[in-house]
């Protein structure tokens, strides 16, 4: 059943974080639903601008609607990840999404507020929930290519002003993470001090942590052993998710880790079966491996085994 992120945040705030997982295709969707049902977790499906145009935005919509029928016990929100104003408006008017992220974090503070406010007004008029971003993550991905050098942590005082002036429902904060597989070059970690200051100014307000893939080192080693070349890949320690949750982080975004699972399964499969050219055997292995990955990640987030309570809270 598709619900809003607001409803999920209400159930989770301060106790655990909801996993927000990006999808691009059928196999990811299947693995995602199986993993969340396996671990009895509510979850958020994220669709980026790139994912919407990978095939056609209606294809993903169709796949998700079908998954909702195939897995009637699933409780999830459908969320636009890193939207610009135009894409947000398209999603708001589509009648399919339950929430959108407007990412105007590269603009000035006042411009970010003005753009976010327009999106909030349009979204709230139709019952949708809005996430915005303040501060800048370092990153290597296509649409969020902010150089590590320019990365700016979120200013807690600005965060309060931003939320008050925009009426936004949740806020993505820059606390030291970045997108992609190469997050840290040394011993950097999460800035819990910044999170604590933001929570002090915005009590009970859901915060979002982007760039939260953990880039498991065994996964990286297996990819490299099967012909890959991921040198120095490093991610966030997922044992820190629960602490982040107590400081108000209610949504944790994970995309890169799923791509690593895909890459490892396919590299190993075709190395082990060089005679194989069929897409289904490797696809089946991927769906099973991705489901196991999601189930294990939900344990780290604390969202595993919360599904019954969430269903009760929603009266479904
Ligand atoms: O934060 C960005 C997400 O990982 C989505 O990546 O724009 O390549 O789909 P993408
Ligand atoms: P990762 O690249 O760490 O998976 O982050 C994904 C993300 O923040 C999506 O918005
Ligand atoms: Zn992100």
The C-alpha atoms of residue 204 and residue 17 are separated, in whole angstroms, by 13
The C-alpha atoms of residue 235 and residue 260 are separated, in whole angstroms, by 12
CB 100 within 8 A of CB 80: yes
Paired strand residues for 173: 134
81 catalytic? Reply is: yes
Walk me through the domains of the chain, giving residue ranges and CATH numbers.
5-314 (3.20.20.70)
The residue whose CA has the least distance to atom 3 of ligand 1 is: 255
Among the options 81, 103, 169, 255, which is catalytic? 81
pLDDT at 143: 53
128-142, 158-172, 176-190: range with lowest mean pLDDT: 128-142
Query: What number is the average pLDDT over the span 151-169?
Result: 94
Centre of ligand 1 to C-alpha 313, Å, is 32
DSSP secondary structure letter of residue 185: S
Residues with CB under 6 A from ligand 2: 22, 81-82, 179-180, 210-213, 253-257
Query: What number is the average pLDDT over the span 280-295?
Result: 98
Centre of ligand 3 to C-alpha 136, Å, is 10
Residue pLDDT, tens place only, 63-113: 999 999 999 999 999 999 999 999 999 999 999 999 999 999 999 999 999
Give CA torsion, residues 95, 101, 104, 105, to 10 deg: 180
Centre of ligand 1 to C-alpha 46, Å, is 9
Residues with CB under 6 A from ligand 1: 22, 48, 50-51, 81-82, 141-144, 179, 255
The C-alpha atoms of residue 130 and residue 136 are separated, in whole angstroms, by 18
pLDDT at 138: 67
CB 97 within 8 A of CB 79: yes
Centre of ligand 3 to C-alpha 254, Å, is 8
Share of the chain above pLDDT 90, in %: 92
Mutate to test the pocket of ligand 1, among 57, 60, 142, 172 (most ligand atoms within 8 A of CB): 142
Residue pLDDT, tens place only, 9-64: 999 999 999 999 999 999 999 999 999 999 999 999 999 999 999 999 999 999 99
The structure tokens 């629960």 sit at 242
Inter-CA distances, 238 with 213, 214, 243, 244, Å: 8, 6, 10, 10
Element of type H or E holding 79: strand 76-83
Query: What number is the average pLDDT over the span 197-207?
Result: 98
Ligand closest to the CA atom of residue 50: 1
Q: Which atom of ligand 1 is nearest to the CA of 48?
A: 9
The C-alpha atoms of residue 118 and residue 150 are separated, in whole angstroms, by 27
Q: What is the crossing angle of helices 5-12 and 307-314, to 10°?
A: 120
Centre of ligand 1 to C-alpha 291, Å, is 20
The residue whose CA has the least distance to atom 5 of ligand 1 is: 48
The C-alpha atoms of residue 259 and residue 126 are separated, in whole angstroms, by 33
The C-alpha atoms of residue 101 and residue 92 are separated, in whole angstroms, by 11
């Amino acid at each position: 059943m598709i619900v809003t992120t607001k409803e999920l945040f209400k159930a989770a705030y301060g106790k655990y974080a909801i996993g927000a997982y990006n999808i691009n295709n059928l196999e990811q969707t299947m693995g995602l639903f199986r993993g969340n049902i396996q671990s009895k977790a509510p979850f958020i499906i994220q669709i980026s601008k790139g994912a919407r145009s990978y095939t056609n935005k209606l294809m993903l919509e169709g796949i998700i609607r079908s998954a909702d029928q195939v897995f009637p016990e699933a409780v999830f929100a459908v969320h636009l990840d890193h939207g610009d104003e135009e894409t947000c408006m398209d999603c708001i008017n589509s009648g399919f999404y339950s929430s959108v992220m407007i990412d105007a974090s590269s603009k000035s503070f006042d411009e970010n507020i003005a753009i976010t406010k327009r999106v909030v007004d349009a979204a709230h008029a139709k019952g949708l929930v809005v996430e915005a971003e303040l501060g800048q993550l370092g990153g290597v991905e296509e649409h969020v290519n902010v150089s590590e050098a320019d990365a700016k942590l979120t200013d807690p005082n600005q965060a309060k002003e931003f939320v008050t002036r925009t009426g936004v429902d949740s806020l993505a904060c820059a606390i030291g993470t970045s997108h992609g597989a190469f997050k840290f070059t040394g011993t950097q970690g999460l800035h819990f001090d910044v999170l604590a200051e933001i929570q002090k100014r915005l009590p009970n307000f859901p915060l979002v942590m982007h760039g939260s893939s953990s880039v498991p080192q065994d996964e990286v080693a297996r990819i490299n052993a099967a012909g890959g070349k991921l040198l120095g890949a490093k991610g966030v320690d997922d044992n820190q998710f629960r602490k982040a949750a107590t400081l108000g982080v209610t949504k944790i975004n994970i995309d890169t880790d799923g791509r690593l699972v895909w890459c490892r399964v396919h590299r190993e499969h075709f190395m082990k079966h060089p005679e194989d050219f069929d897409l289904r055997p490797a696809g089946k292995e991927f769906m099973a491996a991705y489901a196991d990955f999601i189930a294990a990640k939900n344990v780290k987030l604390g969202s595993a085994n919360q599904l019954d309570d969430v269903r009760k809270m929603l009266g479904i």
